[in-house]
Chains A and B, each alone.
Chain A
Amino acid sequence: MKAPAVAYDDSRSRAREDGGFATKRSERPRGLDALRGWWRRADVPAVLLFAAAYVLAYRFGMAFSASSAAPFWPPDAVLLTALLLSPPSRWWILVGVALPIRLFTAVPAGTPFAFLLAVYAVDSAKGVLAAAVLRRVLSEPPRITTVRAFAVFGLVAVLLVPALGAVAGAAARNTLGHPFGASWQQWFMGNAMTQLVLTPALLEMCAAVRRPWRAMDVRRWVEAVLLVLGLVLTGAMAFNQGHEGALVTGRQLYAPVPLLFWAAIRFGMPGASAGVLIVVSLSMKAALERGGAFVGQEHDVIALAIQQYWFLTAAPLYLVAVLVEQEAEVKRSLVESEARFRNMADTTPAMIWMSGADGRRTWFNRHWLAFTGRRPDTEMGEGWVDHVHPEDREHVVLGYRGARDSRKPLTIEYRLSSEDGHYHWVLDQSVPRTAPDQGVVGYIGLCIDITDRKRAESEAHAHRMELARAGRVSTMGQLASAMAHELNQPLGAILRNAEAAELILQQEPLDLQEVRAILSDIRRDDQRAGAVIDRMRAMLKRRDLEFEPLTVRQLIDQITVLLRNEMLARRVTLQLDIPSWVPRVRGDRVHLQQVLINLLVNGADAMDGAGYEPRRLDVQARLADEQTVTVAVRDTGPGIREDDLSRLFEPFFTTKPSGMGMGLAISKTIVESHGGRIWAENNAEGGATVSFTLKVADSRGDT
């Protein structure tokens, strides 16, 4: 199925080479080389071929009576064909070659030299004029295969130019004594008919010769041979048999017509052209011999009959052939574009698939099959799903179904088993295919292997987790005393209660009610201590991000319990400004609390020195835009040196004597893994503010 495209391209490129000779004049070779170069440039064989054809056509044209204009004037068709096949820069050669032929061959005795020159000039002008117009319309190689080309050809080469030429020709004949009106009509009719019938056929023949040989199957061959036989037979029947008056009454003249249309419909322009040439030559032979249908007819009558016959036959015949060609061209370009797509899809280093409207896969490119090591028949339909990793299968199937229902593009990642038996991560991006009037007719998807990227990502993720954990541990170090205090409260209460109970047990009367109250208090304090330990463990635990919708208030409330004593010991007041209309954010509770703890402890550290009273930490939450909540932690400390502002979030950057310099770096990592950003600035009224953004939780729920 690729052949047409290739053939087309070849013929085009060759045509360009032919036409390009005029530009190859950059050097001037000498001697034999010069001769060879000239030979090649002038394309001498082609010129000789033209000359031979022209001589033949001229003699044939002149074979009709010299007493009137020729009813059939092939030289015009030969010249126009040759001109259309040559670049304009070579037209002078062709026109020049025609001159001696016109002057010295088959000249009827007594024709004035001036008349011959005039007629030659008129014919040459006609040819050049028609060629100049037509070459703008016809593609390369010049063939009449579209309705537009046919219309322009008919208007210019068949009607306009012959009409103009006939004026000049009739004027020339008028000088020889022929009446102008009759001469014009004869001249015009002869020229027009020849152009209509012969030029498309000649162009077709030349194109066929230049076209590379294409294999035709046996049945087509048989059909073609039958057609030729039929045309020869019916043509002979139409024109070579007959009796006097057959031309006027003979219905057998139309015997070849059905076969001509058959040829046109089945073989397009080449078929129509070949058929026309066969029947034309038969009709001309009969006309020249005045035999068959033309027995006993006058020259004028024969000419008119032939002209009418061919006008009426050739015009619709070529039109049908052109329509067939156009249709074939549409099909060819479809096939070609399909082939081009397949070719491209097969050579792309990505896996490509297509599905139909029902979502079932209908096609996989070569790369997919090579990657998965499977045959198309096992992959078609739903077969390919079997090779998706079992854990990803549901996700993939639901993903495609959802996209199909909503007719949206889909980007999805999943693991696909490859030929080597290992699962590879692929990124599959698919878009709906649409057809005019049909909407979505399926999907086309492109997959790339992202295993390496995935591995790098997961390594980076593990690295981030490790850092976050390290940060938690170091912050936990700073918080250890606060945690100890937090534990000492309930533990102290338990001890005191136990001691009180011991005393009660030694006293009379035994106050059982008080003992019960004490036991209940002990249990409550024990749970309190347990909760403290759970919190600590949760913070130390190594875990992945778990996103959930959270309120900033929840986040801060849980850590103020942890930080309460730390803040008290450092004489820091914590003030919260978190309006209830600030929406929930999407985030990992423990990690975000880690960030808040880092910022609060940093703020408290900053205010440790003297002179920053009252020591205040303000936590403020605001809705920055529809999608973003900003949380700001503001202190009343000394602020941050301008030089340090930019380096604040770098790992191991610290201004504290005992700091590791990881707190803010880790906070940055955490915030960024939540899709937010974090920054620090100095307050106009003193102190610093560190702010970070979080994404608003999706109201439809969160995954």
Chain B
Amino acid sequence: MSIHNGTVYIVDDDASFLASAARLLRRSGFMVEAYPSATMFLAERKSDAPGCVVADLEMPGMSGIELQDVLARTEHPLPIVFLTGRGDVPTSVAAMRRGAEDFLTKHAPKDELVSAVKRALERNEREDRERTRRRELEAMFARLTPRDREVMTHVLRGRLNKQIAADLGIDERSVKRHRTNLMTKLQVTSVAELSHLAHEAGIVRPDGDEAEAIAATPQTVA
């Protein structure tokens, strides 16, 4: 009956609160798994399963913040919604700065809790997608030879073939061949497309000057 993609993992050492929160979220339409401690959760979670974490901030053993740190270092970090018995400002600031989705008191209104969980799950989906795309791009760029990569850097700066040849100390034909190779490997047909892809892969900083330079390049080439 789940309307969301992903599981809500609730972690709280207070058995009573754990049970009631799990009950509520389940009845609100989420898939829920309850864990009495952070270590138990980490031991049992499937590392690539989507979802989010609702965790008590103060727990014996591993605390909520520590759990957040551990999760952040994994391949599939999960967004965290923190619950606390006290409205402790310094702790909540620290938690949010580390990327917590939300920071709620244990008796915050239900809607706040549910929407925080929804946001966390959506964020997880989004981040998951982004992570997948980034991995595809990385794989594509990984196919380039070092010379391809050098040539591409110059192309993205808007340099002409002749200039590139002079810079790299190779002849103009070789430059053209590398250019064709990398365009093929990256499945792009124009410099504009190449520039876009490079931006998406984060190879080129979205620098104003360079962007202009790149934008001017196709006209020059054409």
Contacts and interface: CB of A to CB of B under 8 A. Distances in A.
Given A488-B107, A489-B106, A565-B58, A500 B24 contact: yes
Contact of A497 (B23, B26, B63, B86): B23
A499 B60 contact: no
B189 interface: no
B24 A496 contact: yes
B110 A499 contact: yes
B24 A499 contact: yes
Nearest to A491: B107
Interface in A465-521: 481, 484-486, 488-497, 499-500, 503-504, 507, 514, 518, 521
B17 A485 contact: no
Nearest to A522: B20
A564 to B, nearest CB: 8
A500 B16 contact: no
Contacts of B85: 484-486, 488-489, 492, 565
B14 A504 contact: no
Contacts of A499: 24, 110
A503 B22 CA distance: 13
A488 B105 contact: yes
A497 B28 CA distance: 12
Contacts of B106: 488-489, 491-493, 495
B82 to A, nearest CB: 13
Nearest to A488: B85
A525 B58 contact: no
B175 interface: no
Nearest to A499: B110
Contacts of B73: none
Contacts of B24: 496-497, 499-500, 503
Contacts of B14: 489, 493
B18 to A, nearest CB: 8
A211 interface: no
A568 B14 CA distance: 13
A453 interface: no
A481 B17 contact: no
A492 B23 CA distance: 13
B107 A500 contact: no
Interface string A256-294: 000000000000000000000000000000000000000
Interface string B3-24: 0000000000010110111011
B154 to A, nearest CB: 51
A496 B27 contact: no
B59 interface: yes
A524 interface: yes
A497 B18 CA distance: 10
Interface residues of B, number: 23
Interface in A228-275: none
A521 B106 CA distance: 16
Contacts of B88: 569
B27 A504 contact: yes
Contacts of A674: none
Contacts of B21: 492-493, 496
Contacts of B63: 568, 571
Contacts of B23: 496-497, 500, 514, 518
A528 interface: yes
A528 B14 CA distance: 12
Given A485-B86, A489-B106, A521 B16 contact: yes
B58 A493 contact: no
Interface in B55-99: 58-60, 63, 83, 85-86, 88
Contacts of B17: 489-490, 492-493, 496
B27 A500 contact: yes
Interface string A287-304: 000000000000000000
Nearest to A487: B85
B58 A569 contact: yes
Interface of A: 481, 484-486, 488-497, 499-500, 503-504, 507, 514, 518, 521, 524-525, 528, 565, 568-569, 571
16 contacts: A484-B85, A485-B86, A488-B85, A489-B17, A489-B85, A491-B106, A491-B107, A492-B17, A492-B20, A493-B14, A493-B21, A496-B20, A504-B27, A521-B19, A525-B16, A569-B88
Given A488-B106, A495-B107, A503-B27, 16 more contacts: A484-B86, A485-B58, A485-B86, A488-B85, A489-B16, A489-B106, A492-B20, A493-B17, A493-B19, A496-B20, A497-B24, A500-B20, A500-B23, A500-B24, A514-B23, A521-B19
What 7 A-B pairs have minimum CB-CB distances, sorted nearest first?
Answer: A492-B106, A485-B85, A496-B20, A488-B85, A503-B27, A500-B24, A497-B20
